[in-house]
Structure 1
Amino acid sequence: MIKKLLLLLIIVTFNSTHSQNTIGTTRIQNGVFEGYTLFTAFTETYLINNCGEEINQWSSEFPPGNAVYLLENGSILRAGRTNSETITFGGQGGVIEIFDWNGNLTWQYFYDTPLIRQHHDVHPMPNGNVLILAATKIFNTEAIQLGRNPSFLTETYLYSEQIIEIAPTGLNDATIVWAWNPKEHIVQDFDATKDNFGNVNLSPEKLNINFLNGGSGEANWLHFNSIFYNPILDQIIISSRNLSEMYIIDHSTTIAESASNSDGVYGKGGDLLYRWGNPQSYYQGTENDRKLFGQHSPYAIEDGLIDEYKIMLFNNGNGRTPLYSEVLVINLDTETPGVYFYESRTTYGPTRADYTYAHSGVRTNFFSEI
């Protein structure tokens, strides 16, 4: 009897200690995915298990730049926010760092000048390189030459975006090995005397520089907020919060090819291979056809998982009445892997998500603006 009580006491004590959370309150239900959760707050990054126990913690000198990844070797790739005051819209960053498992800073790279600043996202590549999302300033004279309607310019400059791939070198340097900029893939039907004049509805592979999606002409008209690299297709998925669209571009191009225009929707240049969420942006729909509302983080579900290769994203619901958020899983319409079907040469499919998670009762009870 004494042995049984002692054994019971040991089991109870062990379970109490083992399941004690050290970060926050948890609730675990059957079917939970067995994994860790990585997040960053203030200057700290935490890795916790399902019990809320801290597995590891890393410290930086910089508050979050809105991206952190756990790498295969146990290091973390983290973006941090610098004190720059030149490009200051939400999601600002400016510095990218790698810390090893023991918390040692092994690489640091600043991408932060008066004209260019990393923001929102970075993404680790299988080859050890890093994709960086950055805002770039275009002054109004260049924006007008690109075809921007001057009445849509409310500041002295316009933000374009840039994605670069860098190969880290040493402790604080890198080499740019690939680059893409949406300003090289523009169409406009406002001024025939300016660059990029054409038929917007016949150019879905380009961005209409005068489509504001109900905006007021702010400099930050695109507001890309995430990038994702799909190694199977060698393609990059981009999210534009302000235009409520996601895009897919080709990464297999050279830098020169990525700056060129493709011969049609399926060409090899740096034009868009696919877009989804708001077909009115290329004159192929109305507000009723809009699917995305200020979304975040579209990514391809890994092979071997349920719904592999489909796209999952968080659809915030900004600008929608009523305001509610949802998680969408989208099965892209493809002719072959990586080649996307352009339905009746009007819009990109699908017409609806494959799966939707929203509040099961009152939809507005589940809403996150950002």
Structure 2
Amino acid sequence: MRRIGLTLLALGLTLALSAPASAYQAFKGPLGVLQNKLDATEGYVLIAPQNCKTTYLMDKDGNVVHEWVSKYDAFYAELLPNGNLARHSRLPEAGPNFGGAAGLIEEFNWDGEVVWSYQVYEEGVRVGHHTFEVMPNGNYMILVWEYKSYEDALAKGMDPDYGGRCLFKDGFRMGKNMVKGIWPDYIMEVNHDKKVVWEWHVWDHIGTGYNQIDINRFNPPEHNRAYAGPDWTHFNGVSYNPKTNKVAVTSRNLSEVYVIDYATGELEYRWGNPYNYGQGRRPSNQGDNGDQKLFGPHAPDWTVEGNITILDNGNQRPNSVGTGFVELDYKNDKVVFEWYANKLRTMDRSAARSNFYSAYQSGVNKMPNGNYLITATTGAHILEISGKDGSLLWEFVSPWSKDKIYKTSSGHGQNGGGIHRAMFYAPDFVGFKGKDLSTVLYSVPNWVVQLNQNPVPRHWVPLTPLLPGRY
């Protein structure tokens, strides 16, 4: 029976293993390592499932070599140069939650002890959300929603009758809760003495024109009424470049990436949606993207070349190409590399192209060798993509849900524990110096190994790659 079960599960996986342009694209099915090509990059992947209290460090074969346990579920985590784990943990009471509320920064040493923490939550005042940036001096840049009243918004020029605006004097109902006012973003830098040493507030940069943010430009209510109401800017990722002293930040709801000068606070560059400052068309009918380039951007990150990688969800894009990412040379205002899921096809025969997609969250980071690790939060799906030709090198679907491991997603529903952004670390990462990575605590399912040991019948023919121009 075990042999039969493995064979049935193997059908789609074997197609992918033998077809470089194929990807596993079911929300129910095998979990763990699904593909691991010979030219996949050796190293480690840090995973913080959002319904788990444990953060996991594993190699590309699915062997867990270290873990950290918190009292709280995770939102996002990354490793520091000293080997510590920085983690944004989710306080159950943190809100309003427009998606991404967390509220507690925790730093763990290698032995799992909390060595520093900072709460960014005051009810009705502010809440920390999404990701953070740890600067070279050890300070944390944190994204925060802050409360402003309806009257404050009017004083800033907000037109309550403009274009379907859903900001109301009596508040905005979200489920059982009534959210008062508007909650724009700000970026806060805090040091290890828990002193705020730098801030940048959207509220201080409201106006019209290229270097300001127009309070009467917002995501249309037909997409989500909260976007046109209290959840206006919805920043979701921040990154600092110490070489240039610039800050990059993304706004999901305004569909832009901004570059801010750290010294002056000036918003000096923006890209993704020129309609917001009156220099482009917004999307119109089906298949017409207008002049908009980004649709739900997340996770900006500076590369060693000084470019910015940006995850593009593709949410609400009329000309759908799935979820993907771009690498932007902002100094020359051009995209130097892009990849979208329509460049892959599914492993089964039911679809002509891949549906690798997440409407929310997700992220990408450029690896030291020029490849990219991309995460789709929906389904906790992670890919390594070649920086040379965009081919798929490694594929993983998280098996963790509520700190337990499952072999197939049918054991715990469609999505399991979403992952905001997995992070890759090379074997020579400075934070690993003096650390034991040779001991395998346990292993997650590795279907590459399983199928090598239990091959499927030869009459199952793999899918062929997409032909040029067909996607």
Q: Is the 8 A contact 2:95 2:101 kept in 1?
A: no
- Within the candidate set 28, 31, 37, 1:29 is matched to 37
Does residue 240 of the first structure (1) align with residue 251 of the second (2)? yes
Which residue identity is paired with 1:158? I
Which residue identity is paired with 2:105? I
- Within the candidate set 336, 341, 347, 1:358 is matched to 341
Does residue 211 of the first structure (1) align with residue 240 of the second (2)? no
Match of 1:310 in 2: 307
| In 1, Cα distance between equivalents of 2:256 and 2:197 | 27
SS of the counterpart of 1:73?
A: coil
Match of 1:265 in 2: none
Deviation at 1:356, TM superposition (A): 2.9
Deviation at 1:85, TM superposition (A): 5.2
Does residue 321 of the first structure (1) align with residue 318 of the second (2)? yes
SS of the counterpart of 1:280?
A: helix
| In 1, Cα distance between equivalents of 2:111 and 2:253 | 39
| In 2, Cα distance between equivalents of 1:55 and 1:364 | 32
Describe the superposition over 1:94-147 as per-residue Cα deviations: whole angstroms up to 9, x where unpaired. Answer: 110000001011111111102111000111110011111110010101111011
Trace 1:150-165 onto structure 2 (pairs within 5 A).
150-151=160-161, 152=165, 153-154=167-168, 155=171, 156-165=180-189
Larger RCO, structures 1/2 (Cα 8 Å, 6+ apart)? 2
Match of 1:49 in 2: 59
Which residue identity is paired with 1:327? F
Match of 1:184 in 2: 204
Q: Is the 8 A contact 2:94 2:103 kept in 1?
A: no
| In 1, Cα distance between equivalents of 2:298 and 2:186 | 18
SS of the counterpart of 1:27?
A: strand
- Within the candidate set 112, 118, 126, 2:121 is matched to 112
Match of 1:331 in 2: 329
| In 2, Cα distance between equivalents of 1:43 and 1:366 | 26
What is the root-mean-square deviation in Å for CA atoms of aligned residues? 1.7
| In 1, Cα distance between equivalents of 2:298 and 2:210 | 22
Match of 2:293 in 1: 291
Which residue identity is paired with 2:60? N
Deviation at 1:364, TM superposition (A): 5.7
| In 2, Cα distance between equivalents of 1:70 and 1:227 | 16
| In 1, Cα distance between equivalents of 2:280 and 2:336 | 17
- Within the candidate set 27, 31, 39, 2:47 is matched to 39
- Unmatched 5+ stretches in structure 2: 1-30, 172-179, 283-289, 346-351, 361-471
Which residue identity is paired with 2:278? Y
- Unmatched 5+ stretches in structure 1: 1-22, 188-199, 254-267, 335-348
Describe the superposition over 1:17-45 as per-residue Cα deviations: whole angstroms up to 9, x where unpaired. Answer: xxxxxx93342112222221111121110
Which residue identity is paired with 2:294? L
Percent identity over the alignment? 33
Q: Is the 8 A contact 1:314 1:326 kept in 2?
A: yes
Deviation at 1:82, TM superposition (A): 0.7
- Within the candidate set 358, 363, 369, 2:359 is matched to 369
From the superposition, tell whether residues 320 and 205 of structure 1 become closer, same or farther in structure 2 (CA, over 3 Å): same
SS of the counterpart of 1:228?
A: strand
SS of the counterpart of 1:141?
A: helix
Describe the superposition over 1:3-22 as per-residue Cα deviations: whole angstroms up to 9, x where unpaired. Answer: xxxxxxxxxxxxxxxxxxxx
Q: Is the 8 A contact 1:26 1:50 kept in 2?
A: no
- Within the candidate set 282, 303, 313, 2:277 is matched to 282
Q: How many residues align?
A: 293
From the superposition, tell whether residues 179 and 93 of structure 1 become closer, same or farther in structure 2 (CA, over 3 Å): same
| In 2, Cα distance between equivalents of 1:148 and 1:364 | 41
| In 2, Cα distance between equivalents of 1:86 and 1:328 | 31
| In 2, Cα distance between equivalents of 1:44 and 1:235 | 33
Deviation at 1:328, TM superposition (A): 1.3
Which residue identity is paired with 2:300? P
SS of the counterpart of 2:211?
A: coil
Q: Is the 8 A contact 1:121 1:225 kept in 2?
A: yes
Describe the superposition over 1:174-197 as per-residue Cα deviations: whole angstroms up to 9, x where unpaired. Answer: 11111110100010xxxxxxxxxx
Which residue identity is paired with 1:32? A
Describe the superposition over 1:139-167 as per-residue Cα deviations: whole angstroms up to 9, x where unpaired. Answer: 10111101111233233300111111111
| In 2, Cα distance between equivalents of 1:333 and 1:67 | 29
| In 2, Cα distance between equivalents of 1:309 and 1:333 | 9
- TM-score, normalisation: structure 2: 0.60
- Within the candidate set 98, 111, 119, 1:89 is matched to 98
Deviation at 1:73, TM superposition (A): 1.1
Deviation at 1:234, TM superposition (A): 1.2
4+ runs of 1 displaced by more than 6 Å?
A: none
Q: Is the 8 A contact 1:331 1:354 kept in 2?
A: no
Which residue identity is paired with 1:182? V
Trace 1:44-83 onto structure 2 (pairs within 5 A).
44-64=54-74, 66-83=75-92
Match of 1:166 in 2: 190
- TM-score, normalisation: structure 1: 0.75
